[in-house]
């Protein structure tokens, strides 16, 4: 009888750990399955948010924008698939958009009140929280590359005006004549606004956010500013925490819209803070900031974002945002309007 | 017997509400007592954080700094006691500091590499989240007043360079010749740095944060930048969310220190986010950001802050910060070193 009791006791002692092991290993397996389904890299890009109407865009122009967004996206995907760094993907995608006159950045920059082109850009590395930006530059072909040089080859974060032009030239970046930024369409837009035939267009920016295969997040934004802007106005695009932010603990964000509101609401940093301190998901955080806080304040615009798990959120409270995104597990989006 | 039961029943029915009322009113009274002890207004100011050593400051100079801080503080207290607005207190206190050559702001601005003076300032209204800022201005006697004009009389938040000079002039602000900002001490400092006889001094800013009698928070910061700065470098002082932030839901913050770190860590907004989203106290939030996050990153500096209940936190990870504060319930602090 005593032996039976001892036997039962040992049996129970044995069964409990085996049972626990079974439960734990099953739950680990289901975690692994989830992990296998998460993307190893992800990318999103934007070409500005605004109040474009579907009917104002003919089929040809619609196709042109969609093609350009697809091409830009493919440049980024190609870099990331081949184990490229997130920062390289951000810079090269934005270079492509800067070199195309369709978007308000680089070549396609709009004109200031005085008929000049003043460009802004910023970039941030989510791994180190290093950042670089340029504001009000006039001679740099690719402002996002100047922002990266500021981040990597200077002690500073933000350089402005002629000083920033000089720095970029010293760094060997391509310097162009004022005439490079002349495009008839953007020049005519200024003339119409000056004659009060058209309202000022506040929104127009390009941006890119990336999660690379090494788990690093990066974000970049580049803009030609506002048509008819005066007094050396600087918007949110070159402001780290407003127009651009990346942090490996949370997410990477690039904004587009009425810059003044994005500065006052520290939009890009706020999304990250809501995730880090309030445990909101990327979708919840971007929805709260863009569709509640900014809408209440009257701030029009949007943002693209990717979190450390490769989730993507493309959020805007306007009628349109040129946008594209891709996750390595297969989901590709290229859109202009709400649906 | 039935009547006795009914009587007892009614007695209990009566006793319970009376008992509850007693408990609730007692707890309300103790809350009221606490409220009575909270300040109706509070103010803090700074004149920059740095690595000044006690022995490098003789008695006379020490007394001079303490006197100036006391005078600045009294200007603010006087406005607030007489039911003045927080924004007025912030502007007038900073005007006083800008007009004194002791501090690196306004008249006492340091020199850029090219021997010029480029000034930055920003101001924010915690009630509306309106904000204004100027960067790289060269002709405005009081940059903080220009920042306020940007906030109140323009659609913009941040104006820069010559455009900002012009805007300020149009607004009727006092415009001065370059020579106004010449001070022998600051000019000699640049010469020593150029000859590599002295290390570059990164820290030097003035700021003011206020809770006024109407429960509104306001913050402002003004600086002459970094001695020997190049390439149109912009620091954190004109950046809303980095050097300056105010939000009636949380706190008002003005920063001083190595600006690049304050931009990358969105310091002023981060303090507010930690309070709003993580329920940290003002002291816990400022301590975490200044003494943990920035120290880990290697970012030297400090901040002054006041929360919506009139609590004040003066935090710095350097050896010195010129600072002063006052709460309407009597506590006055005027200090330079740790103790």
**Chain A contact present for B294, CB below 8 A:** no
Residues of A in contact with B234 (CB under 8 A): 135, 158-160
- Judged on CB neighbours under 10 Å (0-12, 13-18, 19+), A66 is middle
What is residue B190's predicted lDDT score, i.e. its pLDDT?
87
Residues of B in contact with A260 (CB under 8 A): 155-157
Contact by Cβ (8 Å): A221, A103: no
Complex prediction ipTM: 0.88
Q: Helices B143-153 and B161-170: crossing angle, nearest 10°?
A: 80
CA distance B329 to chain A (A): 32
Query: Is the pLDDT confidence value at A31 over 50?
Result: no
Separation of alpha carbons A142 and A146, rounded Å: 7
Query: Is the pLDDT confidence value at A26 over 60?
Result: no
Query: Is the pLDDT confidence value at B28 over 50?
Result: no
What is residue B48's predicted lDDT score, i.e. its pLDDT?
95
Triad A104, B129, B103: Cα angle to 5°: 95
Cα A11 to Cα A1, A14, A22, B203, distances in angstroms: 15, 5, 16, 71
**Chain B contact present for A131, CB below 8 A:** yes
Average pLDDT over residues B15-42: 62
DSSP secondary structure letters along A139-204? SBS-HHHHHHHHHHHSS-SEEEHHHHHHHHHHTTPPB--GGGG--HHHHHHHHHHHTTSS------
Residues of B in contact with A277 (CB under 8 A): 273-274, 277-278
Query: Is the pLDDT confidence value at A212 over 70?
Result: yes
pLDDT digits (tens, 9 = 90+) for B211-233: 999 999 999 999 998 888 888 99
**Among residues of chain B, what percentage have pLDDT more than 70?**
89
Question: A129, B158: Cβ pair inside 8 Å?
Answer: no
The distance from CA A166 to its chain's CA centroid, rounded to whole angstroms, is: 27
Average pLDDT over residues B143-150: 98
What is residue A32's predicted lDDT score, i.e. its pLDDT?
41
What is residue B35's predicted lDDT score, i.e. its pLDDT?
52
**Chain A contact present for B262, CB below 8 A:** no
Q: Any bridge partners for residue B313, and if so which?
A: B305
Question: B160, A160: Cβ pair inside 8 Å?
Answer: yes
pLDDT digits (tens, 9 = 90+) for A261-281: 999 999 999 999 999 999 999
What is residue B201's predicted lDDT score, i.e. its pLDDT?
60
**Among residues of chain B, what percentage have pLDDT more than 90?**
73
Query: Is the pLDDT confidence value at A168 over 60?
Result: yes
B126: closest chain A residue by CA: A264
CATH fold, domain B40-337, is 3.60.20
Side-chain-side CA neighbours of residue A55 (13 Å): 0
What is residue B18's predicted lDDT score, i.e. its pLDDT?
64
Question: B161, A136: Cβ pair inside 8 Å?
Answer: yes
**Chain A contact present for B274, CB below 8 A:** yes
Triad B251, B255, B260: Cα angle to 5°: 130
Query: Is the pLDDT confidence value at B11 over 70?
Result: no
What is residue A19's predicted lDDT score, i.e. its pLDDT?
64
Query: Is the pLDDT confidence value at A321 over 90?
Result: yes
State the CB neighbour count (10 A cutoff) for residue B332: 12
Please give the torsion angle defined by the CA atoms of residues A130, A134, A140 and A142, in that order, rounded to the nearest 10 degrees.
50
pLDDT digits (tens, 9 = 90+) for B96-134: 999 999 999 999 998 888 888 999 999 999 999 999 999
Report pTM.
Answer: 0.88
Question: B269, A264: Cβ pair inside 8 Å?
Answer: no
What is residue B204's predicted lDDT score, i.e. its pLDDT?
81
Average pLDDT over residues B309-321: 97
pLDDT band at B5 (very low <50, low <70, confident <90, very high): confident
Residues of B in contact with A230 (CB under 8 A): 163, 167
What is residue B187's predicted lDDT score, i.e. its pLDDT?
86
Query: Is the pLDDT confidence value at A37 over 90?
Result: no
Query: Is the pLDDT confidence value at A202 over 70?
Result: no
Report the length, in residues, of chain A: 339
């Amino acid at each position: 009888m005593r032996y039976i009791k001892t036997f039962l006791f040992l049996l129970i002692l044995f069964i409990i750990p085996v049972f626990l092991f079974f439960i734990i290993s099953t739950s680990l397996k289901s975690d692994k399955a989830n992990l296998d389904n998460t993307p190893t890299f992800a990318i999103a890009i934007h070409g500005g948010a605004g109040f474009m109407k579907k009917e104002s865009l003919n089929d040809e122009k619609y196709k042109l924008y969609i093609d350009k967004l697809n091409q830009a996206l493919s440049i980024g995907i190609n870099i990331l698939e081949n184990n490229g760094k997130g920062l390289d993907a951000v810079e090269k995608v934005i270079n492509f958009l800067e070199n195309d006159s369709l978007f308000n950045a680089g070549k396609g920059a709009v004109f200031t009140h005085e008929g000049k082109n003043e460009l802004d850009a910023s970039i941030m590395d989510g791994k180190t929280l290093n950042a670089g930006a340029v504001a009000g530059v006039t001679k740099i072909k690719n402002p996002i590359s100047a922002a990266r040089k500021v981040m990597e080859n200077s002690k500073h974060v933000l350089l402005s005006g002629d000083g920033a032009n000089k720095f970029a030239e010293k760094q060997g970046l391509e310097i162009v004549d004022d005439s490079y930024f002349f495009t008839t369409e953007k020049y005519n837009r200024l003339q119409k606004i000056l004659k009060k035939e058209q309202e000022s267009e506040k929104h127009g920016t390009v941006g890119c956010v990336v999660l690379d295969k090494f788990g690093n997040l990066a974000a970049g934004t580049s803009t030609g500013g506002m048509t008819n802007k005066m007094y050396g106005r600087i918007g949110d695009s070159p402001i780290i925490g407003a127009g651009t932010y990346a942090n490996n603990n949370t997410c990477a964000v690039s904004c587009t819209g009425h810059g003044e509101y994005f500065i006052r609401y520290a939009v890009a940093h706020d999304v990250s803070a809501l995730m880090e301190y309030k445990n909101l998901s990327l979708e919840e955080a971007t929805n709260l900031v863009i569709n509640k806080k900014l809408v209440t304040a009257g701030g029009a615009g949007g943002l693209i974002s990717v979190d450390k798990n490769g989730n993507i959120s493309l959020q805007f409270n306007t009628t349109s945002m040129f946008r594209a995104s891709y996750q390595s597990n297969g989901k590709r989006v290229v859109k202009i309007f709400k649906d």
